[in-house]
């Protein structure tokens, strides 16, 4: 699977409404064939940073970046609410879902 984490530095005045800016893109991506998950979180130490954790089947990531909704998102007004270019880690990894953490066991 392709595992991706992206950090989005958001302008303070746009931080509360940021989920609205990405809602359409999020829904369209989650509906893509081969999308495993597409989850947003807000950094608890920096409320002006949102973190996107996403995963795709190995052959689905390319279709994602070539999709109309992806192109509309990256070429649209999203840059107007960011303070800098997002940072990304994108790796192909073994597996196709989350594993349980071995160090903590909840029964």
Query: Cβ distance 32 to 88 under 8 Å?
Result: no
CA distances from 66 to 30, 46, 62 (A): 15, 31, 6
Per-residue model confidence (pLDDT) at position 60: 84
- Burial class of residue 84 (count of CB atoms within 10 Å of its CB; 0-12, 13-18, 19+): exposed
Per-residue model confidence (pLDDT) at position 59: 81
- Give the pLDDT confidence of 67-93 residue by residue, as tens digits: 999 999 999 999 999 999 999 999 999
Indicate the CATH number for domain 2-92: 3.30.70.100
Per-residue model confidence (pLDDT) at position 49: 98
Per-residue model confidence (pLDDT) at position 25: 96
Per-residue model confidence (pLDDT) at position 61: 83
- Quick one: which of 77, 87, 82 has its CA closest to 12? 82
Per-residue model confidence (pLDDT) at position 44: 97
- Divide the 107 residues of the chain into consecutive groups of 10 and give the mean pLDDT of each group: 97 97 97 96 98 93 91 93 98 94 94
Per-residue model confidence (pLDDT) at position 16: 97
d(CA 21, CA 78): 7
φ, ψ at 5 (rounded to 5°): -130, 130
Query: Cβ distance 87 to 6 under 8 Å?
Result: yes
Task: Note if the pTM is more than 0.85.
Answer: yes
Helix, strand, coil tally for the chain in percent (to 5): 30, 30, 40
Domain range list for the chain: 2-92
């Amino acid at each position: 699977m392709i595992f991706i984490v992206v950090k989005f530095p958001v302008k303070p005045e746009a931080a509360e409404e940021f989920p609205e800016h990405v809602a359409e893109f999020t829904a369209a991506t989650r509906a893509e064939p081969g999308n495993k998950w597409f989850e947003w979180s807000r950094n608890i130490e920096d409320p002006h940073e949102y973190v996107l954790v996403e995963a795709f089947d190995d052959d689905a990531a390319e279709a994602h970046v070539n999709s109309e909704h992806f192109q509309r998102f990256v070429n649209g007004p999203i840059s107007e609410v960011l303070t800098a270019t997002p940072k990304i880690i994108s790796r192909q990894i073994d597996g196709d879902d989350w594993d349980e953490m071995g160090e903590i066991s909840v029964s």
